[in-house]
A and B are shown apart, each in its own frame.
Chain A
């Protein structure tokens, strides 16, 4: 193997831009920004971070590079390229929210860690070699643990970070163990080669254990039941922009990575969940996780009064639908899965953005804190309407079409003849349940009136642009789904 470093640098220009940006912001903060007023310093640093992401996004959009890089360590196909653009866009949204969220101490470090997290996430989505994949995953995960605990003035933040870290560490251990078993079984770290080596072997118990170990990490990364326990605490305690990043970009990149690992890599031992009895493999396990997540997420969300915990359980429910998409992706390709995950991520980040801005003007813990939002800020209330309705899957927003393509793909496997179809039906029925708790949010924001004077919320320009862009994208993708789906053809 004779690696071509020039090619590598060309392919990884966005990642390089992010890392350089992260290092620069730390240096500049030490040298210059630190002497500014705290408010000005905060704004400078955030703008710098947003600029770095913008540069990376421009690189990511302009490079037409595709194919394997550096041996087979990285592989840039349509999915990897689009995911990179998507993750960068979501990171940019995060900065748009963070600009105007409650200010944290050490803003430069916060920006740098967000940039590192984004680097890890986009590398993860393109990785094709287990070692690099693990490193990228850990780069992203450790950055996210730090982000979750960044608000040192609130004990909840520390609690969130610790729980996220402990479970994440355990999941990483499982994943590494699973990878080492795979390496032991096949003698290769490159996904397509692993697939080829596994073909003649059949499902040995050792392979099955390796699969389950990988899936534990998968469940953790996507917050699927029963590995979801960290999510409500992390969403509740983490600073809002961190929670937004965890809920959106991390989920998208994680799904894409595990899709790549499971189908192109371990597709030979997928098994089958479209018919009964199961053919053993990882698909029945994912179906199990999917069903558990759909049920637990939707039902537990009904009892929530804290808005972030509610969003966390809704995220678990959405993870269930995405896992269904992973199952169906073997037959219909990753397009529905990506569409669902990306549009979900936009809606989630938008909802967290609204929370961050409301929080900035007062409190935003419980649903009741949203009361009268339509009079405090019609813009926020309007955007929240779009985000929540998209999460609920109401046409013509993108959330509806995401559900539609995933369920259609799942039903196409074998109609109602097996668990995959049943899961799709269950998911459709549970969407009706979900509408209840989503409407609870909207009822507070749009219907309930508050007594006393109205404390108006002023929405700064960066946040306005972010929220309007996110809402606009949801409408656009909903009206013209082929804008996204067509990229995969």
Chain B
């Protein structure tokens, strides 16, 4: 197992090498760039499977390989790799889903002039994400985290000639950066408190008992335990990266990137990073859970943020018309569910949902990509319609993805992972703090159940508007199924979206047991907690039925026809279409504030600092001129002036001897005398 941990670096290194190759490949080398990217990721997938196999042999062990990066004073900055079931499952998921997305991109980006650059960025993205997964050090994780941010910036803004894409890239980068600031503060605090950032280090790591006991025993301001404060700061990073309220605004805009990028960002990598981070540092997040005298527990905050996000995303998704934006808000909502699961104490449920969501959301995005590609880049569902007949494979796979997301019972993976989350929110086994709240502690569950109805509703609407009825525009009328390079990944993802659920049913919670490090699987009856399951099935049926009643039964007649929901409640739908005005709110408050600060800073810069710098610069320039002057006019002038007239080397010699060289020697001698005077006089004193 240690050998496996030692060679774990290969998993991110291979895509990184592919990114290097892609960066050096000229534009014409399309096959080289794409081939190396896909080969490298495939190799990483094989390695990840081997790592998973190794990790499952001893699921309770955290195999680490630590090494000193460089010495700093008396200590050393140490980094390392970590192999446990969590890392291994995530690696397999990221490489598998990533590989399918890479292959899909071959078809989707076929006509793009910057094909090689695209694959270079994709590989960089995958490398950063895999590096984040195998890191055994918060520092290494943070480095990869920022690389993920950089790569997402490059990919979202891939069509940077579109102003909206450039703006979206900037927005994603800056918004996540706000969260990263808190994350960085947390890291610094942790390093200051513990002197190491390794997760596991033979008892000395930050996630091990000694460190957790020290951090939860230490009280900082407002009665918070140090562990709570650090946990909340780290959670800030996750809020940004995973698009949680209130920093969710970047995620829908990120749809400006090419669709495979949306699939990669919203399914397998970037947004999953935040959930993974919290799951990785879970011992730290729950270190304060048995303390009773603290004002707030870290996980309680996580639970409520997650619940708010889950509901908010689902509500806004109802009012969107762009196929990718609907999926984007559904991602926001599903990430909220994952955070909710983390917050109510069941990180395995969160990771289970993360894995199933990765498959069906990648499927949905690629399906949307397939539609968009076929319909000549038409993304508005009102202007599509009737694609069921002409795009059979896309329709069938998209429908599977939709049913998985909506949580249609029993057959689809999304049902089982969502059930796991709802059950955890109901039982509250891992969160004594929430349980002590009584009814308020059940609030996340109630919000989660409300989200279930909305999810089923907006997904039904999406499918009904896009695939049913008749084509409403010329673009939608003239569609053909895409080539196999795009449909085969869809089919494979659809298989995963169904099959993955059976790894974590209550009767056979194999995945959960392995994540928790248990060698044996203790199943429950499927009917245990059957009341809640029945309730959620009813809610799903309600959502599906309402959606079908509004949009499916009488399909939209024309692209401009008014939405049946908008006809009933125009104000609400307009607000939802406006995304509840979060962007405007931020622009009016934070944007204005930062403009003000920027103006203030600019003023300070220009008048105060600029003045000081100018004075210094003037001083420096004057000194420089004086120095140059002495060098060149006093000492060199005669030489330079005469230089043009010099004939032959002999004259140079004589001129140098009689002219400036004397000056040089004189300076040397005078300096000697002055130094002797200083030192001898100093010695006498």
Contacts and interface: CB of A to CB of B under 8 A. Distances in A.
Contacts of A227: 668, 671
Contacts of A213: 672
Contacts of B653: 158, 162
A428 interface: no
Given A212-B679, A485-B71, A303 B665 contact: no
Interface in B652-685: 652-653, 656-657, 660-661, 664-665, 667-669, 671-672, 675-676, 678-680, 682-683
Nearest to B629: A303
Interface stretch (A98-106, A193-201, A260-268, A278-286): A278-286
Nearest to A215: B675
Interface string B621-664: 10111011001000100010001001001001100110011001
Contact of B683 (A155, A280, A296): A280
Nearest to A297: B627
Interface residues of A, number: 45
A230 interface: yes
Contacts of A480: 70
Interface in B481-497: none
Contacts of B652: 155, 158-159, 162
A186 B388 CA distance: 102
B588 interface: no
Contacts of A481: 70-71
Contacts of B675: 212, 215-216, 285, 288
B109 to A, nearest CB: 26
A204 B348 CA distance: 78
Nearest to B663: A229
B68 interface: yes
B624 A303 contact: yes
B591 interface: no
Contacts of B620: 299, 302, 433
B670 to A, nearest CB: 8
B70 A163 contact: no
Interface stretch (A79-87, A124-132, A166-174): A166-174
Contacts of A288: 675, 678
Interface in A195-249: 203, 205, 208-209, 211-213, 215-216, 220, 226-227, 229-230, 232
A86 B668 CA distance: 31
A226 B679 contact: no
A378 to B, nearest CB: 11
Contact of A203 (B625, B668, B683): B683
B682 A166 contact: no
Contacts of A485: 71
Nearest to A303: B624
Contact of B679 (A166, A284, A408): A284
B624 A299 contact: yes
B661 A166 contact: yes
A152 B683 contact: no
A300 interface: yes
B73 interface: yes
Interface string A388-432: 000000000000010000001000000000000000000000000
Contact of B73 (A158, A220, A300, A408): A408
Given A208-B676, A284-B682, 5 more contacts: A155-B649, A158-B653, A209-B676, A232-B631, A408-B73
24 contacts: A159-B656, A162-B657, A166-B661, A166-B665, A167-B661, A167-B665, A205-B683, A208-B679, A212-B679, A216-B668, A226-B671, A229-B635, A229-B664, A230-B664, A280-B679, A288-B678, A299-B620, A299-B624, A300-B623, A301-B624, A303-B621, A303-B624, A401-B70, A485-B71
Interface of B: 68, 70-71, 73, 620-621, 623-625, 627-628, 631, 635, 639, 643, 646, 649, 652-653, 656-657, 660-661, 664-665, 667-669, 671-672, 675-676, 678-680, 682-683
